[in-house]
Amino acid sequence: MAGTDTNTGDRRPIGVFDSGLGGLTVARAIASALPAESIRYFGDTLRCPYGTRSEGEVRAFALEAARWLEAKDVKIIAVACNTATAAALPMLQRMLSVPVVGVIAPGARAAINGTRSRRVGVIATRLTVENGAYAREIRERDAGVSVVSCAASNFVEIVERELATGAHVHERWLEGPDVFDTPAVRAEVARTVAPLAEADIDTAVLGCTHFPLLVGPIRRALGPGVRVVGPAEETAAELTDILCRRAQLAPGDTPPEYRFATTAENIAAFAAAGSFVFGRPLKSVEQVALEELEALG
The contact set with ligand DGL (CB under 6 A) reads 18-19, 22, 48-51, 81-83, 125, 128, 153, 156, 208-210
Of the listed 48, 81, 150, 244, which one is catalytic? 81
Query: Is the CB of residue 96 less than 8 Å from the CB of residue 70?
Result: yes
Catalytic residue at 208? yes
Q: Could you tell me if 206 and 215 are in contact, meaning their C-beta atoms sit under 8 angstroms apart?
A: yes
Write down the least CB distance from residue 277 to ligand DGL, Å. Answer: 11
Alpha-carbon torsion 97, 240, 147, 124, what sign?
A: negative
In the complex, minimum distance from the CB of residue 193 to ligand DGL, in angstroms, rounded to a whole number: 16
Write down the least CB distance from residue 50 to ligand DGL, Å: 4
The minimum distance between CB 27 and ligand DGL, in angstroms, equals: 12
38 phi and psi, to 5 degrees?
-85, 155
Query: Between residues 9 and 212, which has the closer beta carbon with respect to ligand DGL?
Result: 212
- Provide the minimum distance between the beta carbon of 10 and ligand DGL in the complex, in angstroms, as a whole number: 27
Comparing CB distances to ligand DGL, the nearer of 10 and 188 is 188
Please state, in angstroms and rounded to a whole number, the distance separating the CA atoms of residues 126 and 119: 21
Residue among 185 and 250 whose Cβ is closer to ligand DGL: 185
Q: Is the Cβ of residue 36 or residue 164 nearer to ligand DGL in the bound state?
A: 164
Q: Looking at beta carbons only, is 158 or 272 nearer to ligand DGL? A: 158
How far is 14 from 4, CA to CA, in rounded Å?
14
d(CA 50, CA 207) in angstroms, rounded, equals 13
Least CB distance to ligand DGL at residue 131 (A): 11
Residues 40 and 13: beta-carbon distance below 8 Å: yes
Residues identified as active-site: 81, 208
